[in-house]
Amino acid sequence: MTTIDLTPLYRSSVGYDRFGALVNAAMRSEKTSPGYPPYNIVDLKDDKYAITLAVAGFTEGELNIELEKGVLTVSGKKETNSDDTHYLYQGIATRSFERKFNLADHIEVVGADLRDGMLTVSLLREVPEKMKPRTIAIGGAEVLEHKPSKPKKVARKSKAKAA
């Protein structure tokens, strides 16, 4: 398995501790399920996103959407048909699947919709007010100064030499 050395990135950034794990997980998932089911990730206006998966043949009861620790998991388990259908050719995939998406901080899942064989998961980025960019006025507030403390002088006792 291929791993990527991200040491240079860690030298100049803070808070990307799980970035390496995300990259390796993405590479691993593409090897295990390279293209099924196909999906789109759409960047809509105003911090809104949508993930659309082609899940033709699946019903709402056969699909499962979970969000845990910033990982969105969409899975489908097709109920087995007990009929004795003999296919001459079966090109419609009805196999079970699991697709994982790592969501960035402050991304929330706001809903999901299944229409015409397409499952759309709606996402919204809600950045807390204290995390949003703000302008700092110069000279408009009291400045807290850091004054280093001066070393204390220690009185030393000298031993007098007897003459």
| Tens digit of each residue's pLDDT (9 = 90 or more) over 122-146 | 999 988 888 888 888 887 666 666 6
Please report the pLDDT score of residue 41 as a whole number.
93
Note the pTM of the prediction, 2 decimals: 0.62
Where is pLDDT greater, at 89 or 139? Answer: 89
Place of tokens 């030298």: 11
Please report the pLDDT score of residue 144 as a whole number.
66
Please report the pLDDT score of residue 38 as a whole number.
92
Instruction: Return d(Cα 77, Cα 73) in angstroms, integer.
Output: 13
* Helices and strands per DSSP (H, E), number in the chain: 2, 7
Where is pLDDT greater, at 139 or 3? Answer: 139
Of the options 2.40.50.100, 3.40.120.10, 2.60.40.790, 3.40.50.261, the CATH number for the domain spanning 36-129: 2.60.40.790
DSSP 3-state assignment of 29?
A: helix
Q: Is pLDDT of 33 > 60? A: no
Determine which of 17-26, 28-37, 81-90 has the lowest per-residue pLDDT on average.
Answer: 17-26
Instruction: Return d(Cα 60, Cα 44) in angstroms, integer.
Output: 25
Segments of the chain assigned to CATH 2.60.40.790: 36-129
